[in-house]
Amino acid sequence: MGGHDTGWRLAGLALAFIAGVALQLNERALLSVAFYAAAVAAGTLVLAAAWRWRRLFVLALLGLAAIGFGSAGWRASERLGDSLPPELEGVDLQVTGLVASLPQRGASGLRFRFEVEHAQLDGRPVVLPRLLALGWYAGFHEDATLSPPQQSLGAGQRWRFTLRLRQPHGNVNPHGFDYELHLFEQGVRATGYVRDMPPALRLDATAGHWVERLRQRVRDAIEAKVSDPRAAGVLAALSVGDQSAIESEDWDLFRDTGIAHLVSISGLHVTMFAWLAGVLIAAGWRLSPQAMLRLPAQLAARWGGLAAATAYAVFSGWGVPSQRTIWMLATVTLLQALGRHWPWPLVLL
């Protein structure tokens, strides 16, 4: 019964945190950051008191609800505060920063995320959102400034650009894709494109974002080694999560045949990767008597599978479906390692 009681208590604590977040999401307007910080601090103190006096379980519920409420509001205030000032829209800005994502190649040029380090307007420092979604156009586009040598733009490089920015906007068609909301979820608070004067200047080839650099290296190797561009696009999508590498005709085919979800990194792929890694680790572990004496093969397989799945999720872009799967795999692995029995009704949660 003790294990079952612990499971119900853990579920209650999780639901209390979720209830606090839900309460904040139903606010008509955000409160001050100080109020949210106070809610987190108060919730932490109440949770500490409940931990000391174990019988006060209700206090733990209230503490976690307060932490959920305060942390959600704090994050929302921070995200909304990171916006583009209206006076900086549509003007040429000199911006230095890092290429923070895989550059997406298209018919009109390149698209990529840019992490701002500092910016100027007519020599005067200005404050911009931390993350921008940029286009560097080529060909016959009216804002084309991308020359062939500059198409070697890579993740992790530091550049100085002349940019023209605006606040994110999307279509408001009912039931259509909400592009503005998508950018907001990704932390992108301004969009724009690269201008030609002064010309773009690369300052450092390997300044940061080593995971993104590795992802681009693998993608470029796939494109160079696989002769069929369509097959290379599918391989790039499944290995590094670059769905833009898939041709539009292939996307139409995948949607028509109902398998589009299979070429987008999801919980299914991460779970299968964890299972395969666990099987291989267990098989190798059993070959070593010394390793078996230190740690059972089953436990090594579980933790090794979780580590491998986490690495794959990060390498493939760390999307929301992958994050959810990693958290669930970590929960199951921890419960199994501790020998806890999770009551079956809670599995439905």
Structure-token match 């390692």, residue found: 337
pLDDT value, residue 139: 61
Report pLDDT for 244. Answer: 80
Strands 158-166, 131-137: pairing kind = unpaired
Write down the pLDDT at residue 1: 45
Give the integer Cα–Cα distance in Å for 170 and 182. Answer: 9
- The b-or-e profile of 72-106 (16+ CB within 10 A means b, else e) is bbbebbeeeebebeeebeeeebbbbbbbbbbbebe
Mean pLDDT by 10 residues, the chain (349 residues): 64 90 94 94 91 80 95 93 92 94 84 94 93 83 57 87 91 81 89 87 83 90 89 88 83 85 85 95 94 91 96 90 92 83 62
pTM of the model: 0.79
Mean pLDDT (the chain, rounded): 87
Residue 251: the pLDDT is 85
Q: What DSSP element (H or E) covers 104?
A: strand 104-106
Q: Is cis: bond before 174, omega within 30 of 0?
A: no
Are 109 and 141 in contact, with CB atoms under 8 Å apart? yes
Digit-coded pLDDT (tens) for 122-173: 989 999 999 999 999 876 555 556 555 466 788 999 999 999 999 998 877 7
Q: Look at residue 255 in the predicted model and tell me its pLDDT.
A: 86
